[in-house]
Structure 1
Amino acid sequence: MESVRVQDVTFVNGEVELAGSLRMPVDADLAVAGVVLVGGSGPTDRDNGTYFPPIQRHLAEAGFAVLSYDKRGVGQSSGDWRAATMDDLAADAVAALGFLRARPEVRPQAVGLFGHSEGGWVALRASAGRGDLPWVVTSSCPGVSPAEQERYALGNHLKGLHGEGHPEVRGTLDLYDQLAEAGRRNADFSTAQQLVDDAGAPPGLAYYWGDVDERLWSFLKRKQDHDPTPDLLRLRCPHLALFGGADPTVPVADSIRVFASAACHSARLQRAALTVEVFPGGDHRLRAADSAALVPGYLDKVSQWLADRVGPSTGGSG
């Protein structure tokens, strides 16, 4: 017998209609805590590829209502994520939060946000300054800017192709730096593409540049210098930050330093305690090496941390 029921839902943020899936324990007793899952960068759907389904199932089986949604312009959601700002994406997350809180089976004061990668920045922006959230969780969320994070990921990719210290690594990273500076000057796409062409379009750059067109370039320019620190300083709820120790995409040690520095700042409320968990060997999606499975202990850590703060329910749906 199934312990979880799944329902397709829609909700709105202004003119944008967002489509998603709501998972609910079958024996929910009108007192269920809730989790909104916010996907990562690019055209992420309600399952964030293959990453969210095991999290959705685990949390719902643990007694939580779980809502995830197609990013605007993806799947069955209207709008265009490439035309969005971080504030727009955060407003979508807030709309999801409001929708889940309004469900009769859900305790509105026990609903929080879980953001993966870029979705962590979105969740932090949506949570900043709010005193009505019980917690926020970020998973593989960089503490550095998108420009720094992309450079780190590109560098690791190039080193895997050519080896440490190869001239191609330095040359391609120099080209990346030129593109980042072009973005800061608000250069148009043709100008940026000319930089790539003049450099001979090094093959390793395709990791970053392969899918970039005019619309995506505009989005990258707006996003590249986003700084999560102001949102971290304005948190008014506990924060669980999860990382894979072998993440090739996010500078984990640097990110933890930023999160810890914000937590130690005098502007941070005492209630906004920081918990950091690093899972050795975990990649960007917290998978174990050479495996599609999540690292051992990851799912239990998430559900237990949430339950310790709000409980999955007040009654028998455990």
Structure 2
Amino acid sequence: MVTGERVRDVTFPSVDVVLSGTFAGPGSRDPAPGVVMVGGSGPSDRTNDNFFPPIQRGLVEAGFAVLSYDKRGVGSSSGDWLAGTIDDFAADAAAALDFLRCQPGVQAETTGLFGHSEGGWVVLRAAARGNVPWVVTNGCPGMTPAAQDRYALATALQSIAGITPHDVEVTLAVYDQLVEAGRRGADFDEATRLVGSFSIPASVEDLFGEYWSETDESLWEFTKRKQDHNPIPDVLRLRCPHLASFGGADELVPVADSIGLFAAAACHAERHPRATLTVELFPHADHRVQVHGGTALVPGYVETLVRWITERRDTSSQS
């Protein structure tokens, strides 16, 4: 729970679900800009596995109102995230934004979106479709889930002591075959048979076994729907400033490639003049911009968010 004088649990409707979350506002009754925080992949709740609270606390202490919520089908929210799509999640983020903007004491015109990891894809889709003054993504890949997951798998493989290049190549070939199976619409039984047909190297059997053991029919179908989502068309449609923040030691996302893709989109001739791009890279921080083995946010992260959003808020207020 976020500390503050105005903290309460809330519910609000989206297209076909009722979402539950936490609203936290500063003690001051002056109009406050708002931030909707959208969690990452999997069954993320309003805390995003305890990643959000210190960020929320810092934002509230800086005078912001913050809303975070349980993903559909998680915690107290209705629905099923495994039956959803990026479009569904974007509709939920837009509903959260509308709800926060309607709260007493919240300055609607300066209230925007923050999305972590998969949540970055979600808020980019919502911002591309709606009237949003600014959008922040954290650890958001600039490429498809299929490409990002392959990078994460390759990084994990390289960390195994004594692994050979051949073992890495064989394991990634299995992954590539699964991606292609998803693209041609293979069902879960076919995908399972495909995995069983490969001789997984002993050195990576535990890692790949853990990866595949977490997959069931529902997750396989969800993965098929999501794997080729490309965030760049949404980035090209933005009509607002975008802050893309990354940890320099992120082992899940190809950071340099993502920055390059976002920068190339920002240079596109048809890009809206208000759609500026700011990149903040925090060396030595991980996917969650945390350091010391994931025990603390990298110093200066919250202050960077506050400064950047405040500058955008001031610009929006004057326009």
Fold-level similarity (TM above 0.5):
yes
One-letter amino acid of the structure 1 residue matched with residue 28 of structure 2: D
In the other structure, the counterpart of 2:213 is 210
1:137-189 C-alpha deviation (Å, 9 max, x unpaired): 00000001000000000111111124564422211111000000000001000
Output the CA distance in 2 between the equivalents of 1:205 and 1:70.
29
Determine whether 1:17 maps to 2:18.
yes
Output the CA distance in 2 between the equivalents of 1:165 and 1:256.
30
Sort the Cα spacing of 1:76 and 1:184 in 2 relative to 1 into closer, same or farther, 3 A. same
One-letter amino acid of the structure 1 residue matched with residue 19 of structure 2: L
Question: Taking structure 2 as the reference length, what is the TM-score of the superposition?
Answer: 0.94
2:29 counterpart SS class: coil
In the other structure, the counterpart of 1:122 is 122
One-letter amino acid of the structure 1 residue matched with residue 183 of structure 2: R
Q: How many residues are treated as equivalent by the alignment?
A: 309
Task: Name which of structure 1's ranges 35-44 and 121-130 shifts more when overlaid on structure 2.
Answer: 121-130
Determine whether 1:265 maps to 2:264.
no
Task: Name which of structure 1's ranges 199-208 and 91-100 shifts more when overlaid on structure 2.
Answer: 199-208
In the other structure, the counterpart of 2:70 is 70
Native 8 Å contact 1:40 1:117 kept in 2: yes
After superposition, residues 30-109 of structure 1 pair within 5 angstroms as 31-109=31-109
| 1:14 Cα deviation from its structure 2 partner | 2.5
Q: Which runs of 4+ in 1 moved over 3 A?
A: 162-166
Output the CA distance in 2 between the equivalents of 1:27 and 1:129.
32
Q: Percentage identity across aligned positions? A: 58
Output the CA distance in 1 between the equivalents of 2:162 and 2:272.
45
| 1:291 Cα deviation from its structure 2 partner | 4.3
In the other structure, the counterpart of 2:241 is 238
1:233-254 C-alpha deviation (Å, 9 max, x unpaired): 0000000000000000000000
1:161 counterpart SS class: coil
In the other structure, the counterpart of 1:227 is 230
Larger RCO, structures 1/2 (Cα 8 Å, 6+ apart): 1
Question: Taking structure 1 as the reference length, what is the TM-score of the superposition?
Answer: 0.94
1:283-304 C-alpha deviation (Å, 9 max, x unpaired): 0000014241011111100011
| 1:209 Cα deviation from its structure 2 partner | 2.1
In the other structure, the counterpart of 1:194 is 193
Native 8 Å contact 2:133 2:240 kept in 1: yes
In the other structure, the counterpart of 1:147 is 146
Task: Name which of structure 1's ranges 196-205 and 147-156 shifts more when overlaid on structure 2.
Answer: 196-205
Task: Name which of structure 1's ranges 70-79 and 167-176 shifts more when overlaid on structure 2.
Answer: 167-176
Residue ranges of structure 1 left out of the alignment (5+ in a row): none
Native 8 Å contact 1:156 1:248 kept in 2: yes
- What CA RMSD, in Å, does the superposition of the two structures yield over aligned residues? 1.4
Residue ranges of structure 2 left out of the alignment (5+ in a row): none
One-letter amino acid of the structure 2 residue matched with residue 229 of structure 1: I
